[in-house]
Amino acid sequence: MLTKGDDYPIHQTPAPIAQPVSADPNHYDRYWFNGYDRDASFFLGGAMGHYPNRGVIDGALSVVHDGVEHSVFASGRMPDDRATRIGPLRIDIVEPLRVVRYVVAENDHGLAADVTFRARTAPIEEPRQQIVRNNVPMMDYTRLTQWGTWEGTITLPTGVTLELDPSRTYATRDRSWGVRGVGQQAPTNFEPAPMQIFWLWAPLHFDDCCTHLALFERADGERWLEQALIVPVLPDDSDPEHLARSEYRVEWLPGRREMAWAELTLRRRDGTALPTIRLGMKLYLLTMVRKSELQDAVWDEVDFENAVWTIPKERMKRSKPHNVYLCRQTLDIMIALKTCAGNSRYLLPSRYDADAPMSRATFNRVTYAVVERAQKEGLPLEPFTVHDLRRTGSTLLNELGFNSDWIEKCLAHEDGRSSRGVYNKAEYEHQRRHMMQEWSDIVDAWVAGQKRVPVLVPPAMPMLAPDPAL
């Protein structure tokens, strides 16, 4: 059976493209997508699969919004030309390995979509995944994984239309093909042994990179496949960085095969941990808090709605509560840490005990590793501590020309011995919010090798109105 696909130089066997190499009824060729907003206001999952030896194509889109799942499903006879269309669902390859469009036309389910996936990274090929039981191939397939963003619209049966903003809506997709259990096994003279495996697949997004962990373990816990990577963000399409052996902790919902939360630890081969430690180190620089103030911080102190982290007086050096106003970057870091923390009350929980904060020595080891690496590369970096980041931020903000009162208030410095320290109780909230946003933007510019001229005064200052009762 010849199809339009046969006019392209993509053949791997003497057979036409429509004819699969494998006669296994579980041979398949599948697309899968997910997506979510930064504030977790919705989640989407989409798929389409071809099963040539069964003559079936199927597809689905599911969207979870306000705690309710909306879905549309379609299946039918697989077309000979492997067309990516079934019922109201359609996939268009706009630019191979870069841009994919996913469309769900209007249908009786009331769920419609027209969304476009745009790559954040080059695709990666995962290790070939094979399992044989009593000489019977139970699984043998290849997977392509890629990180990206979504843009477009999704219309829900409730009448709500979700506008997918690519600056806020992250996406992951995979393409897998080969033999995988999707139905009845091919008849054999052997009874396949039970296939007991644990599979963890975790592609994650960060602002400056993506990470991936894919692993398989047997029933006895022996790990027989693992891939742990740091994947650069486009336009950097260099090879991913392979990491050292990963670790994980999982809390299962009672009586269910469903995770309540999971904690992943990814380590560079030089021992640097990702991602929470890296995020924590950046948070120190952007907020300029003391080491203990962050390491002992709990989620009850963070007000996401008002973008403020209030450290109680019991944890402050001068026994006075302190507000840390969260700019866009620090709020994003908080959201990422909240995701990684699972059910722990701590912003930075211990690696081994979610009910305890991270070890006091953790960030010290990171600073030592950073200095050692910098010196190996010939960079003039002197040994430093976490507290030195606080001094660095203060020094640079003063040199940039920001108001010293605002800076001292950010540092929770109050001189009770001087008359000014006694009488000046101003919080400078509006000014400090502006300054910390400028500071974070400047740091981001420096990281990107760029210069940025700060705006030293907020464009609009709040005016104090007299109390009519006075």
Over residues 75-118, the pLDDT tens digits come to 999 988 889 999 999 999 999 999 999 999 999 999 999 999 99
Q: Could you report the per-residue pLDDT of 120-172, keeping only the tens digit for each? A: 999 999 988 888 777 777 788 999 999 999 999 999 999 999 999 999 999 99
Q: Give the Cβ contact number of residue 223 at 10 Å.
A: 13
The pLDDT of residue 108 is 92
Distance CA 288, CA 325 (A): 11
Q: Which of 34-43, 158-167, 341-350 has the lowest mean pLDDT?
A: 341-350
Confidence grade of residue 431 (pLDDT, cut at 50, 70, 90): very high
CATH of region 1-6+16-178, choose from 3.20.20.100, 2.40.370.10, 3.40.50.720, 3.30.499.10: 2.40.370.10
Which of 306-310, 383-387, 426-430 has the highest average model confidence (pLDDT)? 306-310
CA distance 266 to 380: 28
Residue 426's pLDDT is 72
What is the pTM (predicted TM-score) of this model? 0.63
Distance from C-alpha of 418 to C-alpha of 297, rounded to nearest angstrom: 31
Q: What mean pLDDT value characterizes the chain? A: 87
Of residues 269 and 45, the one with the higher pLDDT is 45
The Cα–Cα gap between 305 and 39 comes to 11
- Alpha carbons 424 and 416: distance in angstroms, whole number: 10
- Only one residue has tokens 């950097």, namely 236
Burial string for 300-325 (b: 16+ CB within 10 Å, else e) reads ebbeeeebbbebeeebbeeeeebbbb
301 contact partners, CB below 8 Å, separation of at least 6: 309, 310, 311, 312
More confident residue, 271 or 100: 100
Which stretch of 137-141, 282-286, 396-400, 422-426 has the lowest confidence by average pLDDT? 422-426
Judge whether 74 and 86 are in contact, CB under 8 Å: yes
Cβ density class 61-84: b for 16+ within 10 Å, e for less? bbbbbeeeebebebeeebebeeeb
More confident residue, 309 or 425: 309
Give 212-249 pLDDT, tens digit per residue.
999 998 887 888 889 999 999 999 888 899 888 888 88
pLDDT at res. 222 = 83
Q: Domain ranges for the chain, please list them.
A: 1-6+16-178, 196-272, 276-447
In this prediction, residue 40 has a pLDDT band, given cuts at 50, 70 and 90, of confident
Percent of the chain with pLDDT over 90: 52
* CATH class, range 276-447: mainly alpha
Q: How far apart are CA 118 and CA 250, in angstroms?
A: 31
Confidence of residue 423 (pLDDT cuts 50, 70, 90): very low
Encoded amino acid at 322, one letter: H
Structure token digits, residue 82: 């492997």
- What's the CA angle centered on 93, arms 140 and 76, to 5 degrees? 65
* Integer Cα distance of 396 and 400 in angstroms: 6
Confidence at residue 425, expressed as pLDDT on a 0 to 100 scale: 53
Give the three-state DSSP class for 131.
strand
